[in-house]
C-alpha cells in the first residue's frame, strides 16, 4: 500500500500514526509533510529508521517550493509528478492521510 501524507508532522499526528501501521507499505511525503525529511528536523530520526527498511519518497517540487530540496536526509528518494503517478499506479491501493 502507498501511504501519502501531506501535513506537517509537527502540526498533525498523521506521520506518527502512519509509521505505526505502515507494515510493508511505501511512504510518500508531499506538501507540508516534506519538512519531516530534512536533516535535523525533529521527525527526521524516525523517518530515517523507516527509510532504512521501506521505500520513502518525497515530492521534489514541494521540497523546492519550501527551500529544503538541498537538505533531505539520506535514504529518502526523490520523485517528480510523473514519479508520483507511477507510485500510485504501481501500488495495489493507496491511503491519503487526512
Which CB, 22 or 69, lies closer to another protein? 69
Instruction: Dig out the grid coordinates for 47 from the structure.
Output: 523517518
Helical segments of the chain, H only: 14-20, 44-53, 60-65, 81-90
What is the nearest approach in angstroms of another protein to the Cβ of residue 22? 22
Which CB, 3 or 7, lies closer to another protein? 7
Alpha-carbon gap, residue 64 to 87, rounded angstroms: 20
Binding footprint of another protein on the chain (CB under 8 A): 6-8, 10-11, 31-32, 35, 38-42, 44, 60-62, 64-70, 80
Torsion sign over Cα 80, 72, 91, 4: negative
What is the nearest approach in angstroms of another protein to the Cβ of residue 6? 7
Q: Are strands 77-79 and 94-96 parallel, antiparallel or unpaired?
A: unpaired
Which CB, 26 or 38, lies closer to another protein? 38
What is the nearest approach in angstroms of another protein to the Cβ of residue 24? 28
Amino acid at each position: 500500500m502507498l501511504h501519502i501524507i501531506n501535513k506537517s508532522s509537527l502540526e498533525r499526528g498523521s506521520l506518527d500514526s502512519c509509521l505505526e501501521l505502515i507494515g510493508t507499505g511505501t511512504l510518500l511525503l508531499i506538501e507540508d509533510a516534506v519538512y519531516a525529511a530534512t536533516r535535523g528536523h525533529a521527525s527526521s530520526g524516525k523517518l530515517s529508521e523507516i527509510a532504512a527498511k521501506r521505500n520513502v519518497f518525497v515530492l521534489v517540487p514541494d521540497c523546492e517550493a519550501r527551500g529544503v530540496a538541498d537538505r533531505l536526509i539520506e535514504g529518502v528518494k526523490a520523485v517528480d509528478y510523473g514519479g508520483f503517478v507511477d507510485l500510485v499506479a504501481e501500488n495495489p491501493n493507496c491511503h491519503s492521510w487526512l
